[in-house]
Structure 1
Amino acid sequence: MRLTVRSTRASVSLVALLVTGTLTGGLPTGPPPSVAAADTVSAQKARAPQLRVRTVARGLQHPWDVQQATGGRLVVSERDRARISVVRKGKRRTLADLSRLVWVSGETGLMSLAVDPAARTLWACHGSARGGTHVQVSRWRVDRRWTRLSSRRTLLTGLPSTSGRHGGCRLLLDRDSDALLVGTGDAAVGTNPRDLDSLGGKVLRVHRRTGAPMPGNPFVGASSARRFVWTYGHRNVQGLAQRDDGSVWSVEHGSYRDDEVNRLVAGGDYGWNPVPGYDETVPMTDQSLPGEQQDAAWSSGTPTIATSGAAWVRGSQWGALEGTLAVAALKGSEVLFMRFDAAGALTAVTRPPRLQRLGRLRSITSARDGDLLVTTDNGARDRVVRVSPR
C-alpha cells in the first residue's frame, strides 16, 4: 500500500507564541500570532463567554476518564481503584469493580473508556497481569439500566508495559467508521516507538467489535503486529480528539521539554527515538532520523506542563472559544484552548484563570450539549466537573 506522509513543519511553542490569555473565558492578551488574528481579536473578545464550573461527582481517586451514557448518566474510571462508576444526579454507584482483572502499577491501571450508548457497549484500556504484565483493551455489553457489565471480550492485547511507566492508553471511537483508535505509551523502552512490530508509542486502529485491523491501515497486509499501526514515533499518548473535518489529533507528554499536540497522518512518523538505552535528551521530534518526521502542531517548549486529555469545543454558546481544542494539563493545572486554522496551523491559545483553580486535570470530554466534562487528578478528593459558558 502506498503511504502519503507529509511534514507540517509548523510547530509553535507555547513560549514563542506569546498569546497566553489571562481573562476568564477571554482571548489571549499578548501579541496575536498573525495579522489575520489581530484583525479579529476585538470581535472575538466581545463574544468570549464567562465560564461556569459545577461539580457533578466527588470522592474519587485518580479518575482517568469520563464519558456520557444515556439518561443523564456519566461513566467514570478510576486508575488505582480499578473501578468503573456511573454518576447520575450527583450520586455515584459502582458499575464494575475490576480489581481482579486490572494490573495497577505507577502510571498504569484502569485508564481510558469509550462508550457507545446506542449499542450499550463499553470499552476500557487497562493494565493486565495475565500472561505477563502488559496493557490491553477490553469490551463489555451493558444492561439497559447501566447497572451491570457482561460478555467481556479482550479486543486488543500485548501493549507493552514494564514498571507501569508510560503505560498511558487513550481510546477514541471514530465518528466516520467502525474504528476504535488506541493511543499508547512507549513503556519507557527506547526502541518501541519506531519498532513497527511493537504496539508501544503508537496510535492504533482496530475494528471496535472484532478487534481486527482496520482496512486502510498503512500496514494492514502484514502478518505481524504492525497491521494495527496508524502512526508511530510517539512517546506517551494521553489524548485523542476528532475534529469536525474528520481529522484526528493526539496529545502526548514530552520529556523535560515539548509536550505535543499532533495532527495525525496515516503512516506518519512523529519522531521520538530515545536510543541507545532510554535517552530523554533527544528531541521529541527528531528531524535527523531517516525518512520524514511530522512536526507538532503545538509544543510546550521548556518546561513541560504535562498535557493530557483533549476535546474539540462545539456549540455557538462558546463564542470565541467555539472550534478550539481544549487540552487539560496535569502539572500545569489548567486548560488551554488552542485555535488551529483549517490547515492545522496554530493561531491562538487561551488560558482561562477560572480553570486554573482545580489542581491537576486529566481528561476532557465534550458532552452532547456542548459542555465540557473534566476530571481532576490530585490523588485525593478528586471530582468530575462540568464546564459551561454562562
Structure 2
Amino acid sequence: MRSLTLGVLLALVSAAAPAGALTPSSTGSAATTAAPAAVVAQEPARAGVPRLVVTKRVTGLSNPWDVEPIGAGRLLITERDTARLFVAGKGAKRRVAFPSDSVWVAGETGLMSLEVDPDFSKNRRFYTCSGGFLAGGGHDVRVNAWTLNTSLTRATLVRKLLGGLPTTTGRHGGCRLLIARNGALVVGTGDAAVGTNPRDLTSLGGKTLRLDRRTGAPWPTNPYISADNRRQRYVLTYGHRNVQGLAQRRDGTLWSVEHGSFRDDEVNRLVSGGDYGWNPVPGYDESVPMTDQSLPGTQLEARWRSGDPTLATSGASFVYGKKWGALDGALAVAALKATRVLFLTFNAEGRLVRKDVPKILERFGRLRSVTLAPNGDLLVTTDTDSGGGAVLRVRPAS
C-alpha cells in the first residue's frame, strides 16, 4: 500500500527473529548479504525543512522498480529487467521463487509495480503489474494477484485480475498500482506509444483504471460502469501519456504522475471521468501539448508541470508527520533523468504553493519509486542495472 503499508520499517530486532525473517545465518544458499544500513549522505536543515539522512537499506539490485514493506522490517522488491522478486530483511536479501520466465521484458516493460494487500498478515496477498505473453502469440501488460508463503520463499499466482493493457515494443508500458483507502485497486497505464489509445475509451492504454482487487471486476462506482464495452467499465480517467506514479492524499483525492514528451512531465489530481488531454494523432505526434485544450470537451490542467525539458518523473507518495517540518503533507516525486526527488506542496484546493528539491538526493542516479513506510520514512529505489541498484531509506534527523 503506497500510503497505508504494513509492518514497521526498522531493522529487525536483535532478539530471536520472527518466523520467516531473513538473517545472514538463516537464509542459506538462496540469500545474498546486503550492505548494512550505514548513513551515506546527510543534508543540513534549511527554511523549515529538517536535516535529511539517507541510508542504503538494500543493495546489489538490478533496475529495482518498486518496494513495499511486508511487516517485521522486511521488504518486497521487484526488478524490472530480470523479472526477479526479492525479500530483504536485516543484513540480507533472498530471491523469491517466482515465474520470471512468464514475464515479457522489453524496453520499459517488465516486472514493474507492487502493491501489498491491507490484510497481508492474514491472506499473504500482493499484486504486480508486468509484461505478459498471450496464448495466441504477442504480448500485453497485466495485473496479477499472488500469495507469498509464510517462509517468504515462494510466490504463487492466485489469478490474473486484468489483462489486455496494450503494448507494442515495450515503450510506455506504465504501470503503477495503488490500493486506495476504499479498497479499490487503481492502475496507472501507458499509451504503448499508440496515438489513438489515450482517448479511446475501449482501450486500457493511457488511462487510470479502477478494479476490485479480489475479483478483478470493474469498480462499481467507475464513471463508465454501464458501458456496453467491458474494458470501458474499468476506466477512471483518460488522456494520459505514461502514468508512472499514483498516490492518495489524506483528503481522499487521488493523484497521478506521468512522463511528458520533450516537455511537461505532469502531476495531476484525478477526477472521475476526467480527460487529461493527451492526443498525439495523427500517427504518434509528440509535438502536441500534454494537455491539449483544442480538443472537444473539457481537459483538466496539470497541478504541476516540468516545462521544457522534462525530468522523467516517476513514483510518488505523500509525506506526513511533524518530523518532516515544512515538507509535512508534500507529494514526494522521484525523477529518473533529473536524478532527484521533488517535494511538491499543494494547498487544500490542490494548487501548488511550494517546491523543495533536497540536494542530498541528487547523488544517487536515476530514482524510480517512492514508498511511504509505516514510521513515516521514505523508501526510494535507484534505477541502476548490473547489481548497482539499491533501496534508499530517507528520514529526517531526530
The TM-score range, normalised by the shorter chain, is: 0.7 to 0.9
Please report how far the alpha carbon of residue 97 of structure 1 lies from its aligned counterpart in structure 2 after TM superposition.
3.2
CA–CA separation in structure 2 for the residues paired with 1:342 and 1:260: 19
CA–CA separation in structure 1 for the residues paired with 2:284 and 2:277: 14
Aligned residue for 2:97, secondary structure, equals strand
Q: Which amino acid aligns with 2:109?
A: T
Structure 2 residue aligned with 1:135: 141
Aligned partner (choices 231, 239, 243) of residue 237 of structure 1: 243
User: Is contact 2:83–2:100 with CA below 8 Å preserved after alignment?
Assistant: yes
CA–CA separation in structure 1 for the residues paired with 2:299 and 2:133: 34
Q: Does 1:260 align with 2:266?
A: yes
CA–CA separation in structure 1 for the residues paired with 2:351 and 2:361: 25
Instruction: Map Cα deviations across residues 319-341 of structure 1 (whole Å, 9 max, x no partner).
Output: 11110000000000000000000
Using structure 2 for the length normalisation, give the TM-score: 0.86
Aligned residue for 1:100, secondary structure, equals helix
User: Is contact 2:43–2:53 with CA below 8 Å preserved after alignment?
Assistant: no
Would you say how many aligned residue pairs link Structure 1 and Structure 2? 349
Runs of 4+ in 1 over 3 A off after TM superposition: 23-27
The aligned runs of 1:252-331 (5 Å cut-off) are: 252-331=258-337
User: Is contact 2:340–2:361 with CA below 8 Å preserved after alignment?
Assistant: yes
Q: Does 1:386 align with 2:390?
A: no
The aligned runs of 1:41-120 (5 Å cut-off) are: 45=47, 47-116=48-117, 117-118=120-121, 119-120=123-124
Q: Which amino acid aligns with 2:384?
A: N
Structure 1 gaps of 5+ residues are 1-22, 28-44
CA–CA separation in structure 2 for the residues paired with 1:90 and 1:161: 38
Q: Which amino acid aligns with 1:127?
A: G
CA–CA separation in structure 2 for the residues paired with 1:24 and 1:231: 39
Greater relative CO (CA pairs within 8 A, separation 6+):
1
Structure 2 residue aligned with 1:41: none
Please report how far the alpha carbon of residue 143 of structure 1 lies from its aligned counterpart in structure 2 after TM superposition.
2.0
Please report how far the alpha carbon of residue 386 of structure 1 lies from its aligned counterpart in structure 2 after TM superposition.
0.4
Structure 2 residue aligned with 1:211: 216
Aligned partner (choices 319, 338, 350) of residue 332 of structure 1: 338
Please report how far the alpha carbon of residue 223 of structure 1 lies from its aligned counterpart in structure 2 after TM superposition.
3.0
Please report how far the alpha carbon of residue 297 of structure 1 lies from its aligned counterpart in structure 2 after TM superposition.
0.1
Q: Which amino acid aligns with 1:122?
A: F
User: Is contact 1:26–1:352 with CA below 8 Å preserved after alignment?
Assistant: no
Aligned partner (choices 221, 231, 236) of residue 226 of structure 2: 221
CA–CA separation in structure 1 for the residues paired with 2:370 and 2:328: 15
Please report how far the alpha carbon of residue 168 of structure 1 lies from its aligned counterpart in structure 2 after TM superposition.
1.4
Aligned residue for 1:65, secondary structure, equals strand
Structure 2 residue aligned with 1:348: 354
Using structure 1 for the length normalisation, give the TM-score: 0.88
Please report how far the alpha carbon of residue 147 of structure 1 lies from its aligned counterpart in structure 2 after TM superposition.
2.2
Structure 2 residue aligned with 1:362: 368
Structure 2 gaps of 5+ residues are 1-41
Aligned partner (choices 121, 124, 131) of residue 128 of structure 2: 124
CA–CA separation in structure 2 for the residues paired with 1:233 and 1:311: 22
Structure 2 residue aligned with 1:196: 201
Please report how far the alpha carbon of residue 151 of structure 1 lies from its aligned counterpart in structure 2 after TM superposition.
4.2
CA–CA separation in structure 1 for the residues paired with 2:320 and 2:90: 24
Q: Which amino acid aligns with 2:354?
A: A
Please report how far the alpha carbon of residue 101 of structure 1 lies from its aligned counterpart in structure 2 after TM superposition.
1.0
Please report how far the alpha carbon of residue 56 of structure 1 lies from its aligned counterpart in structure 2 after TM superposition.
1.1
